[in-house]
Amino acid sequence: MFVEENMSDSIITASSIHKTYDTGVVKVNALRGVDLTVGRGEMVAIMGPSGCGKTTMLNCLSGLDEIDSGQVVIDGVVLHDLPDDERSDYRARRMGFVFQLYNLLPVLSAVENVELPLLVSGTGPAESRRRSMELLDLVGLSERAQHLPGELSGGQRQRVTIARALVNQPSIVWADEPTGDLDSETAGEIMDLMCGLNADNGQSFVLVTHSADVGNRAHRIVRMRDGEIVDDGVNAVTIPQ
């Protein structure tokens, strides 16, 4: 069984994560001592009501945001001990991101968007272009490689985002509401794509979602409320029979 086989080989270990936002007027305890472990190749969905701290947790675990206390270890590296530049390099080499609002650079074509992480991590231009085209082919968009994001549909843009997230063969893919802006059919296609990639490449996926349909496609669902994990359980739906 996947969960049991891989739990011992964890890629993300977060312990006692605290995060407070201080606006000067009010203090919001976004995370209150969260502990979480994600196994290599595991697909974890973080769910919960709005404002429960899902996105904050994703941002803190991925190093996009600072934490007040606790520790995040990714593949043996204590992420928050790294200086900003090294953390940026680490993200470029080891992580991929998918966001709800696609977040493609509107001035670059699909293929240029996809190859950007490779260029950042120092891969040569020709190699970057080759691999980007492979990824676009993988997500079924090689025909649209030269199109600007504004010329693509919502689903196509999200596929480009996924291609960009995977192009540097990251160990972990972070996805914040990856289907939040899509209709159910397109959302289903996107989840098929991510689950397929997860199964084929063994990359870990951490998804933040409101959608039960998306959550049900994950190996594990972590439920949060008021900055705490209230439930962390294996998703029976996805356990291979």
List of residues contacting another protein (CB under 8 A): 55-56, 59-60, 62, 64-66, 84-85, 88-89, 91-93, 96-97, 99, 101, 103-108, 112, 116-117, 119-122, 124-125, 150, 164, 176
Asked whether 232 and 44 are in contact (CB, 8 A), the reply is no
For another protein, give the closer residue by CB, 46 or 221. Answer: 46
Give the shortest CB-128-to-another protein separation in angstroms: 9
Altogether, the residues listed in the chain come to a count of 241
Place of tokens 């990824």: 135
For another protein, give the closer residue by CB, 125 or 233. Answer: 125
Q: Which residues pair with 89 in a beta bridge?
A: none
Dist. CA 135–CA 240, nearest whole Å = 27
For another protein, give the closer residue by CB, 125 or 202. Answer: 125
For another protein, give the closer residue by CB, 123 or 198. Answer: 123
**Token pair for 39:** 């196994």
Give the shortest CB-121-to-another protein separation in angstroms: 6
Give the shortest CB-119-to-another protein separation in angstroms: 4
**Token pair for 89:** 């390099």
Asked whether 110 and 147 are in contact (CB, 8 A), the reply is yes
Give the shortest CB-93-to-another protein separation in angstroms: 7
**Token pair for 91:** 């993200």
Helix (DSSP H) and strand (DSSP E) numbers for the chain? 8, 10
**Token pair for 107:** 């001035």
For another protein, give the closer residue by CB, 6 or 56. Answer: 56
For another protein, give the closer residue by CB, 60 or 224. Answer: 60
SS3 state at 148 = coil
Give the shortest CB-32-to-another protein separation in angstroms: 18
Dist. CA 62–CA 55, nearest whole Å = 10
Give the shortest CB-216-to-another protein separation in angstroms: 26
